[in-house]
A = this chain, B = another copy of it.
């Protein structure tokens, strides 16, 4: 495994390092941890990477690694950098023959995302996008239940992603660690929608079969430091008349990372909240409410749940394990590739490049709709 990003105080790179190795199926052996070469190398060494594989730039890394003997080179690259760098890095890694785990949003433009998708097709490499929340066992339980028809026909879905972290950033004292998130040159043309709205959109797509046909969105900017929207709302009309609504806020005081997923089916409804990530509430009219808890030995839980839970019932798992589950799926596909098979579980046990493309298109449709007061087609 090679890691790009994650040096200094960067949050998500380090999370990848831990999650990817949690199951003893990968080892971190190379990295480019910061944009400045010297700092990059030092950060890599601090993380236990051998100094000859602590690189100063990703170009250097790809060149050097491809020259190592096949069984001594990295197998995949994890990209955890500001959004604007994803495209170049991912494309280069694919071209160099490596598998890729890339942070979201996949790119800053849908056009570039499509190019990446084409490259994945051409190279046959495994490509995963880090929509981490789809790695929670209970989210997989929801997906399995919807698929097997336990809720009947899905009719309406509500996903609310509410944060308040932007409130900590004051005009003159934004922490360096997060500064890039306020710079459109690095984030792309969207703020809250790209950052968290795409997570909400992916949860909708991952857990249900709804096909959004057009989007009506309204974006707003409330906090002084943000040049882009920090609050957004979207209504999605789907192929068979279903309706989905998505809310993304980064300015709700004191809300840390609250995600609510509510699915209304013709024979049952489900609520999942990030606050209680390993619990879902299933309701059917006239019956007692049913709560599914983290108990991987329980017969009522789906295979998807059990395959992604590591601990005995009642022992809490969290964010690291969710990402580790995406890696698990990607590793299975990498093994398939290694033995000449095709990747088989993209989009299923880990988010695919197509999921990444859809996310970027959703963001673009929201921006267009908000600007014109009209309905736009996401794809």
Q: Is A249 an interface residue (CB 8 A)?
A: yes
* Identical subunits present: 4
Residue-wise, chain A 218-256 has the 8 Å CB interface mask toward B (1 for contact) of 101010000000010101010001010101010111111
Name the interface residues of A105-153: CB closer than 8 Å to any CB of B: none
- B237 and A235: CB pair below 8 A? no
- A284 and B254: CB pair below 8 A? yes
Pick from B276, B290, B318: contact of A318, CB under 8 Å: B318
- A294 contacts which chain B residues (CB < 8 A)? 256
- A164 contacts which chain B residues (CB < 8 A)? 269, 283, 285
A316-B316 in contact given A220-B156, A243-B220 (Cβ < 8 Å) = yes
- A218 and B231: CB pair below 8 A? no
**Which partner residue on chain B sits nearest A301 by CB separation?**
B288
- A297 contacts which chain B residues (CB < 8 A)? 168, 286
Q: Is A22 an interface residue (CB 8 A)?
A: yes
Q: Is A320 an interface residue (CB 8 A)?
A: yes
- B165 and A313: CB pair below 8 A? yes
- B314 and A317: CB pair below 8 A? no
Query: Which of A57-65, A70-78, A81-89, A260-268 lines the interface with chain B?
Result: A260-268
- B251 and A264: CB pair below 8 A? yes
- A313 and B256: CB pair below 8 A? yes
Most B Cβ at <10 Å: residue of A165, A251, A256: A256
Shortest CB distance A290–B (Å)? 4
- A172 contacts which chain B residues (CB < 8 A)? none
Name the interface residues of A266-301: CB closer than 8 Å to any CB of B: 266-269, 274, 276-277, 281-295, 297-300
- A163 contacts which chain B residues (CB < 8 A)? 314
Residue-wise, chain A 28-45 has the 8 Å CB interface mask toward B (1 for contact) of 100000000000000000
Shortest CB distance A111–B (Å)? 28
- A254 and B287: CB pair below 8 A? yes
Q: Is A211 an interface residue (CB 8 A)?
A: no
A256-B295 in contact given A233-B245, A288-B290 (Cβ < 8 Å) = yes
Q: Is A375 an interface residue (CB 8 A)?
A: yes
Q: Is A315 an interface residue (CB 8 A)?
A: yes
- A316 and B253: CB pair below 8 A? no
Shortest CB distance A183–B (Å)? 19
Q: Is A91 an interface residue (CB 8 A)?
A: no
Q: Is A18 an interface residue (CB 8 A)?
A: yes
- B253 and A231: CB pair below 8 A? no
Name the interface residues of A359-373: CB closer than 8 Å to any CB of B: 373
- B243 and A245: CB pair below 8 A? no
- A286 and B269: CB pair below 8 A? no
Q: Is A335 an interface residue (CB 8 A)?
A: no
- A379 contacts which chain B residues (CB < 8 A)? none
- What are 12 contact pairs spanning A and B, CB under 8 A? A155-B222, A165-B312, A254-B283, A254-B287, A276-B276, A281-B291, A282-B288, A289-B292, A290-B291, A310-B320, A315-B318, A320-B321
Partner-B contacts on A (CB < 8 A): 11, 15, 17-18, 21-24, 28, 47-48, 155-156, 158, 160, 162-165, 167-168, 216, 218, 220, 222, 231, 233, 235, 237, 241, 243, 245, 247, 249, 251-258, 262, 264-269, 274, 276-277, 281-295, 297-300, 310-321, 373-375
